[in-house]
């Protein structure tokens, strides 16, 4: 799913924009395509974000959309094995979303300005692919790792989530990357509550990932979500504590860190969508849609097959 956003300042839709370093006084924007820049970088000033606060009825609708997105991943799980193509996984997902869930696959024909329409219903990013990989006829091989990213639209509301899968018998290094990326996402999630700032989330993810020898992709970030696929705020997966927007109850956004085994620099493939690590090191990503509650957080993208939180997550703070 075209889910992760280019970071700051958010256009409409808030996705393919620039990147920011909250340690600087201003930000730098850059074009989305490193191989063919469309505009030169320029300095801009940080500005407050316009964030939609969801009502109780909105949240009920988003719980349904989030559960459906997660159930697509549950359905796909037994099919992720050597010899299966990501094209086949995409067809399974599309048919399930449309015919069983009576919903809409949000990525299909999604077209930000300057892009060709995204041609598939899910994203499948394999090995050194960071995000937005397009399903194709390449069979999965034993030892591959693959991120499957799903967004559904149900009754006008979006649910957005992704998981990592190890195909067959993965290497120790590949499994370690996938596990630490999952834990990095949760390091960010468990920070969520009213009064903390977005920089606290990014700092928790960055310090955990880097202390374990990994790097954090900075050009992409999480995003607000609701009746629009990509809304404010933009949720950086790195940063300084006490910076950026303050959280209030009713905010809904994704946390979806992209963690590399090697260096953090990225490139773009010729298909115009798939993002890869420049050094071809493995990359992993997990994603949940998260609601800020009055006392903490609730995971909206949960289903029967959702992996349990890591042991360090306090049970009283995890949502039911």
Does the pLDDT value for residue 23 go beyond 80? Answer: no
Contact (Cβ atoms closer than 8 angstroms) between residue 191 and residue 232 = no
Per-residue confidence at 4, pLDDT binned at 50, 70, 90?
low
- C-alpha 283/C-alpha 300 separation (Å) is 25
Contact (Cβ atoms closer than 8 angstroms) between residue 299 and residue 318 = yes
What integer pLDDT is reported at residue 21 of this predicted model?
Answer: 36
Give SS3 for 174. helix
Q: What is the pTM of this model?
A: 0.86
Mean pLDDT of 242-270: 97
Mean pLDDT of 44-59: 78
Per-residue confidence at 267, pLDDT binned at 50, 70, 90?
very high
Does the pLDDT value for residue 320 go beyond 70? Answer: no
Closest CA to 189 of 285, 254, 113, 102: 254
What integer pLDDT is reported at residue 28 of this predicted model?
Answer: 26
Task: State yes or no: cis peptide before 4, omega within 30 of 0.
Answer: no
Does the pLDDT value for residue 115 go beyond 60? Answer: yes
What integer pLDDT is reported at residue 31 of this predicted model?
Answer: 29
Contact (Cβ atoms closer than 8 angstroms) between residue 155 and residue 302 = no
For residue range 125-180, what is the model confidence (pLDDT) as tens digits? Answer: 999 999 999 999 999 999 999 999 999 999 999 999 999 999 999 999 999 999 99
Average pLDDT, the chain: 87
Task: State yes or no: cis peptide before 314, omega within 30 of 0.
Answer: no
For residue range 167-209, what is the model confidence (pLDDT) as tens digits? Answer: 999 999 999 999 999 999 999 999 999 999 999 999 999 999 9
What integer pLDDT is reported at residue 26 of this predicted model?
Answer: 29
Which residue reads 């320029």 in tokens? 42
Candidate ranges 14-28, 44-58, 78-92, 105-119; pick with highest mean pLDDT: 78-92
Tokens encoding 1 = 């799913």
What integer pLDDT is reported at residue 110 of this predicted model?
Answer: 96
Helices (H), 28-127: 56-76, 86-95
Per-residue confidence at 6, pLDDT binned at 50, 70, 90?
low
Contact (Cβ atoms closer than 8 angstroms) between residue 206 and residue 184 = no
Contact (Cβ atoms closer than 8 angstroms) between residue 179 and residue 186 = no
Q: Give residues with Cβ within 8 angstroms of 267, minimum separation 6.
A: 34, 35, 275, 276, 277, 278
- C-alpha 18/C-alpha 173 separation (Å) is 32
pLDDT above 90 as % of the chain:
81
- C-alpha 141/C-alpha 169 separation (Å) is 10
Between 71 and 2, the higher pLDDT residue: 71
Tokens encoding 156 = 């006008």
């Amino acid at each position: 799913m075209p889910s992760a956003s280019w970071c700051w300042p958010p256009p409409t839709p808030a996705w393919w924009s620039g990147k920011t370093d909250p340690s600087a006084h201003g930000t730098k924007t850059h074009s989305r395509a490193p191989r063919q820049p469309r505009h030169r970088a320029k300095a801009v000033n940080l500005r407050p974000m316009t964030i939609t606060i969801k009502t109780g009825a909105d949240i009920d609708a988003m719980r349904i959309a989030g559960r459906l997105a997660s159930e697509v991943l549950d359905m796909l799980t037994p099919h992720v094995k050597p010899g299966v193509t990501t094209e086949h996984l995409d067809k399974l997902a599309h048919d399930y979303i449309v015919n069983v869930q009576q919903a809409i696959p949000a990525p299909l024909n999604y077209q930000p300005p300057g892009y060709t329409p995204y041609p598939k219903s899910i994203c499948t990013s394999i090995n050194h692919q960071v995000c937005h990989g397009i399903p194709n006829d390449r069979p999965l091989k034993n030892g591959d790792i693959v991120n499957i990213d799903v967004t559904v639209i149900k009754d006008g509301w979006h649910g957005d989530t992704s998981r990592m899968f190890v195909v067959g018998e993965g290497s120790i290094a590949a499994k370690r990357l996938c596990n630490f990326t999952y834990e990095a996402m949760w390091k960010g999630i468990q920070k969520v509550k009213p009064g903390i700032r977005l920089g606290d989330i990014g700092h928790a993810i960055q310090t955990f990932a880097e202390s374990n020898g990994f790097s954090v992709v900075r050009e992409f970030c999480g995003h607000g979500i609701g009746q629009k696929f990509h809304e404010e705020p933009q949720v950086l997966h790195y940063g300084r504590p006490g910076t950026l927007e303050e959280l209030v109850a009713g905010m809904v956004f994704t946390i979806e860190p992209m963690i590399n085994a090697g260096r953090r620099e990225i490139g773009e493939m010729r298909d115009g969508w798939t993002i890869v690590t420049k050094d071809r090191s493995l990359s992993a990503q997990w994603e949940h849609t998260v609601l800020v509650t009055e006392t903490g957080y609730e995971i909206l993208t949960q289903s029967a097959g959702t992996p349990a939180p890591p042991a360090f997550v306090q049970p009283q703070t995890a949502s039911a």
